[in-house]
Amino acid sequence: MSALQLIHVSKTYGRGATEVHALLEIDLTVEPGELVAVMGPSGSGKSTLLTIAGSLEEPSSGLVTVGGMPLSRLSRSEQAALRRRSIGYVFQDFNLLAGLTAVENVSLPLDLDGVAARTARAAALAALDRLGLAGRADRFPDQLSGGERQRVAIARAVVGERHLLLADEPSGALDSVNGEAVMRLVRDTCQGGVAGVVVTHDAQLASWADRVIFLRDGRIVDQTARVQGPESLLDADPAR
């Protein structure tokens, strides 16, 4: 079963003369364990695609399914529960709550979902540990570096039993080494069976994906083939 499916999804804002087609007839399927990057210039519809995939916004037409479940069949509260349990979000500006420690930020989705505090904290500590932040669990966001804050955001996005990870420019303003570390974490998370969608204008970030989709004016205009093994590069002319 596909982790995420967008079928003929369109999104229009405004009406008449002010009508803007943010997305047009988008068809996209992401399988469990697959990481898909969406590239495109500003205004191409990348972020809209992500918010619709994550049920933060409804499409004007078309169908969105997460884990085979059509979102349109869910009530608002059921959609909210799906977002807390199954979907993780990573934003460019981290969106950590300044008044909560790292572990409290990470356990928040579980707390909101009614998971017992001790269980939620244990799951959050485990997620932080996987991201190399076990020693930073009780620090507040302003006591962490930019790279550490983004790792906390990723821990929060993958804590519990998430099946879908959605990331909008996840390396934010991090330098290239920290940006690579973030993508390595996203990649590893997907390797464990989570489906990932990353929107970015950065080709280096996109190159961590199995597949890269190119958006323009709300349409998918092109995509890369699935990545082949790197053997061909090693066999290439040494002058390269």
Partner 1 sequence: MSVRHALLALLSEGPKYGLQLRQEFEARTGDVWPLNVGQVYTTLQRLERDGLIRSDGEGEVGPQKSFRLTAAGGVELDGWLRTPPDLSSPPRDELVIKVLVASGVPGVDVHDVVQTHRRHIVQLMQEWTRLKRDSSADELSLALVVDAELFRLDSVIRWLDAADARLRRAASTRAPSAAPNDSVAASQLASGAPDPTVARETEISR
214 binds partner 1 (CB under 8 A): yes
235 binds partner 1 (CB under 8 A): no
Report in angstroms how near the CB of residue 36 gets to partner 1 at its nearest: 12
Count residues near partner 1 (CB under 8 A).
29
Max Cα-Cα span within the chain: 60
What is the DSSP secondary structure assignment for residue 224, as one 8-state letter? P
Other beta carbons within 10 Å of 206? 22
Closer to partner 1 by Cβ: residue 75 or 228: 228
239 binds partner 1 (CB under 8 A): yes
Report in angstroms how near the CB of residue 199 gets to partner 1 at its nearest: 14
Q: Report the candidate in 163, 154, 95 with the shortest Cα–Cα distance to residue 129.
A: 154
Closer to partner 1 by Cβ: residue 139 or 187: 187
Query: What type of residue sits at position 192?
Result: G
233 binds partner 1 (CB under 8 A): yes
61 binds partner 1 (CB under 8 A): no
Q: Please give the structure tokens belonging to residue 167.
A: 């990331």
Dihedral class, residue 43 (left if φ above 0, else alpha if ψ from -120 to 50, else beta): left
Interacting span for partner 1 (CB under 8 A) from 46-54, 112-120, 156-164, 222-230: 222-230
Q: Are 197 and 167 in contact (CB under 8 A)?
A: yes
17 binds partner 1 (CB under 8 A): no
Residues of this chain, 128-187, that bind partner 1 according to CB under 8 A: 184, 187
Q: Are strands 35-39 and 195-200 parallel, antiparallel or unpaired?
A: parallel
237 binds partner 1 (CB under 8 A): yes
Interacting span for partner 1 (CB under 8 A) from 104-112, 156-164, 166-174, 202-210: 202-210
Out of 203, 215, 219, 220, the residue judged to bind partner 1 by CB under 8 A: 203
Question: Alpha helices, DSSP H only, in the chain?
Answer: 46-53, 76-86, 102-112, 117-130, 146-158, 176-191, 203-206, 231-234
Query: How far is 114 from 159, CA to CA, in rounded Å?
Result: 14
Q: Are 147 and 179 in contact (CB under 8 A)?
A: no
Out of 12, 51, 60, 223, the residue judged to bind partner 1 by CB under 8 A: 223
Report in angstroms how near the CB of residue 67 gets to partner 1 at its nearest: 27
Q: Are 157 and 88 in contact (CB under 8 A)?
A: yes
Closer to partner 1 by Cβ: residue 87 or 183: 183
